[in-house]
Amino acid sequence: MEYIPRILYKIFMMTAHFEVPRPDVIKLILPVMNVNSKQSPIQLAGTACLYNLTKGQLGEQIHPHVLRDVVHTTLTAMSNFPSHAQTVELMSVNCNNKNESYA
């Protein structure tokens, strides 16, 4: 399973400068995170990808059902790793960015 975090890292790097929403990519990442919900490296890398795919104006253009699934998966990761500082930090950045987008 060591290859999954590496793949997610590559996706993270590719999505850093996306200007078009890609719910198709989100829908590929979510099941991987859900199936591997107890694997910290996968949750960290997956959350970073989800951040890139939903930040700013990209998030505004994604269907609410997809965003709901992103939030659900993110909250599951938070509940599975409550004391994992990096996970919580990434989640906080993700949530704060969403609040700024809708403010």
pLDDT at 67 over 70: yes
Secondary structure of the chain as H, E, C letters: CCHHHHHHHHHHHHHCCCCCCCHHHHHHHHHHHHHCCCCHHHHHHHHHHHHHHHCHHHHHCCCHHHHHHHHHHHHHHHHHCCCCHHHHHHHHHHHHHHHHHHC
pLDDT at 49 over 70: yes
pTM of the prediction?
0.79
**Averaged pLDDT, 2-9:** 93
pLDDT digits (tens, 9 = 90+) for 20-45: 999 999 999 999 999 999 998 999 89
Where do the domains of the chain lie? 58-91
Higher pLDDT, residue 63 or 95: 63
pLDDT in the model for residue 75: 87
